[in-house]
Structure 1
């Protein structure tokens, strides 16, 4: 989904100008436990973070319809999926899976061997996506998501090393390091 695509969507590295759009989607997706704008800004601009957005490419100005973030310290073989959100009207189109796949690809590019995440115990759709990607539940954090008091499943996956050599012909890569 990188670069222009036939389905009217494009994935790209998040930039500072995306904060307002990301925060709108954050509050729409997580109405009771959304991150604050300052928390999200800190994540977006952290030297350890990698955030991507999916935006529309048709009908005028692009609109952010999904975002996701990864955090990993330089040289550390461990990373954390921080967040993934997709606009309600865009769900079921594979956007969440594409965002998640990009985060795992970036983790591999960074030499990460293990990825962790938390997912709400009441979100079977996300749990199924993570399980299909090789994640397994390793713990439960009781009442982690507040104020709802919903448990978090802690999940972990071991990553295979990044493939060497060029990717498929015509596929753009995201996010060259500045």
Structure 2
């Protein structure tokens, strides 16, 4: 397995995985992924087995380079490949980027997604708020989580 940067050619597979992962919500389409991949301040990575995309994740850098903050936009793992550490592999790479620029990181996660919340906590994220009805059309709630900048995470 290897981690590679995602390109436009991977957008359709990402959208296919979104459909599997987020039924009953508003999964991202191929066109949304194409737009996301084109943004200069976004980085999308994928875990590949040969040429098959098994998992994807994206982060955006916001604010000035000398005082950045980051936002995780999405993490998704093919349901047939879950519980193999692929999400953790992606998070590790995305957090290295944020740590390299000493930026804090934010994300939203469903309040009932205990596995994801546990993984995010293991990377130093803490719940800082709750967004009622964040996910549509289901109306599911989300936690907003924050990971302090590397220099602020002593002991994590």
Say yes or no: TM over 0.5. Answer: yes
Q: Give SS of 1:147's match.
A: coil
Unaligned 5+ segments in structure 2 are: 152-156
Kindly indicate whether the alpha-carbon contact (under 8 Å) linking 2:104 and 2:150 is maintained by their aligned counterparts in 1: no
Q: How does 1:20-169 map to 2 (within 5 A)?
A: 20-31=12-23, 32-57=25-50, 62-73=51-62, 75=65, 76-109=67-100, 111-160=101-150
Separation in structure 1 between the aligned mates of residue 43 and residue 15 of structure 2, nearest angstrom: 17
Q: Give SS of 1:72's match.
A: strand
> Normalising to structure 2: TM-score of the pair?
0.90
Q: 1:168 is matched with which residue?
A: none
Please give the per-residue CA displacement for 1:7-56, whole angstroms capped at 9, x wherever unaligned.
Answer: xx111111111111111111111122201322221111100100000111
Separation in structure 1 between the aligned mates of residue 60 and residue 142 of structure 2, nearest angstrom: 18
Kindly indicate whether the alpha-carbon contact (under 8 Å) linking 2:11 and 2:31 is maintained by their aligned counterparts in 1: no
Q: Which has the larger radius of gyration?
A: 1
> Normalising to structure 1: TM-score of the pair?
0.79
Q: 1:170 is matched with which residue?
A: none
Kindly indicate whether the alpha-carbon contact (under 8 Å) linking 1:79 and 1:112 is maintained by their aligned counterparts in 2: no
Unaligned 5+ segments in structure 1 are: 1-8, 162-178
What's the offset of the Cα at 1:137?
0.2
Kindly indicate which of the two structures has a greater share of residues assigned to helix: 2
Kindly indicate whether the alpha-carbon contact (under 8 Å) linking 1:69 and 1:84 is maintained by their aligned counterparts in 2: yes
What's the offset of the Cα at 1:112?
3.9
Q: Give SS of 2:150's match.
A: coil
What RMSD, in angstroms, separates the aligned Cα atoms of the two structures? 1.3
